[in-house]
Amino acid sequence: MNIGFIGLGNMGAPMAANLAAAGHQVTGFDTVAPCPDGVAQADSATHAAEGAEIVITMLPNGAILRAVADEVLPAMAPGAVLLDCSTVDVASARDVATKAENAGIYALDAPVSGGTGGATAGTLTFMVGGPDAAFATAKPLFDIMGQKAVHCGPAGNGQAAKICNNMILGVTMIATCEAFALADKLGLDRQAMFDVVSTSSGQSWSMNTYCPAPGIGPTSPADNDYKPGFAADLMLKDLRLSQEAAEAVDADTPMGAAARDLYARFVEIEDGAGRDFSAMLPRFEGRRREK
Ligand code: NAD
């Protein structure tokens, strides 16, 4: 396939490289980052999009996605697919899809989980919103860049799935970390705590797979001085998106709001910036009850 790839940062570069290595014709553009091996360099987003059957975007936020979509949609042929893999607000994803549809172009929102490791290994999970026909066109590319693609419904539903998942993740990570800190103060051994919770009703991905306590459970960023992994800054971004969405549709999400506030404080006031999101555990360890 002829593919345009816009946004070649930490995630986009390895994803584009994997598509090129699988034999696709990939033309890339980024305002700063160079093209990875095998990807032809375009001098603008428009040039990367011209003649492409699929244009993939992997960008920082919804405002940039909207600007890039305005630029590339007029350059795309009717029937082509605009596949956005960034994590953005649901409203931006749906607005871009409407604009694309008006131009005779299919839009998919397909945010990912799996991080830079998954992007490099080609093992991402895609959560996809948009029309069936476009999903079918993009499926062979999902199979190269990832291990799983779930079609979640119409435009915006991929982003909805992503922020709901990450809201659960943020909340359960905080709950797991504060429970470890409480267990410490109660004199409960961390290994015993893990052995019980990971096989009881308090289990979650945060405890079982990504345990925030160093030396306990499977290897995780806690065992690497809390180097990300999944940075607290990115968790904060996703929690903010979930709260923006909750406000827009008048959904009551008190735990999600509390998680957003705690990660905002951790990243912007305390020492959480640049650390893994599981570094909430040392944060709680060093704290006393707020009066
Ligand atoms: P990044 O900042 O490394 O990459 C974004 C790239 O977009 C940069 O290279 C930047 O120069 C480029 N860019 C910005 N404006 C542009 C424009 N107008 N035209 C062309 N290029 C432009 O970010 P990333 O870590 O690659 O993340 C990309 C997206 O994936 C984000 O939405 C992020 O939330 C999401 N995501 C990241 C991870 C992760 O672990 N890094 C995991 C899941 C999802």
Round to whole Å and give the CA distance between 114 and 150. Answer: 14
Q: How do residues 33-42 score in pLDDT, each as one tens digit?
A: 999 999 999 9
What residues are annotated to the active site? Answer: 162
pTM of the model as a whole? 0.95
Q: How do residues 27-69 score in pLDDT, each as one tens digit?
A: 999 999 999 999 999 999 999 999 999 999 999 999 999 999 9
How many angstroms is it from 11 CA to the middle of ligand 1? Answer: 7
Amino acid, single-letter form, for residue 258? A
Cβ contacts of residue 62 below 8 Å, gap of 6+?
88, 89, 91, 92, 93
Q: Is the CB of 59 under 6 A from ligand 1?
A: yes
Local confidence band at 291 (pLDDT 50, 70, 90 cut-offs): confident
Nearest one of 118, 130, 99 to 229, comparing CA atoms: 118
Residue 209 reports pLDDT greater than 90? yes
Residue 264 reports pLDDT greater than 90? yes
Cβ contacts of residue 161 below 8 Å, gap of 6+?
111, 127, 129, 150, 152
Residue 290 reports pLDDT greater than 90? no
**pLDDT computed for residue 84 by the predictor:** 98
Testing ligand 1's pocket by substitution, the residue of 8, 10, 240 carrying the most ligand atoms inside 8 A of its CB is: 10
Q: Hey, whose CA ends up nearest to atom 25 of ligand 1? A: 10
What are 259's two structure tokens? 């998680």
What are 141's two structure tokens? 């590319």
Round to whole Å and give the CA distance between 23 and 141. Answer: 11
Q: How do residues 92-101 score in pLDDT, each as one tens digit?
A: 999 999 999 9
Three-state SS at 7: coil
Local confidence band at 211 (pLDDT 50, 70, 90 cut-offs): very high
In this prediction, residues 201-224 reach a mean pLDDT of 97
In this prediction, residues 203-229 reach a mean pLDDT of 97
**Crossing angle of helices 132-145/12-21, nearest 10°?**
90
Q: Is the CB of 15 under 6 A from ligand 1?
A: no
Q: Hey, whose CA ends up nearest to atom 30 of ligand 1? A: 86
Round to whole Å and give the CA distance between 41 and 168. Answer: 39
Q: Hey, whose CA ends up nearest to atom 38 of ligand 1? A: 115
Testing ligand 1's pocket by substitution, the residue of 5, 6, 8, 11 carrying the most ligand atoms inside 8 A of its CB is: 11
Strand extents, DSSP E, the chain: 2-6, 25-29, 40-41, 54-57, 81-84, 106-109, 112-113, 124-129, 146-153
Q: How do residues 141-156 score in pLDDT, each as one tens digit?
A: 999 999 999 999 999 9
Measured from the Cα of 234, ligand 1's closest atom is 34
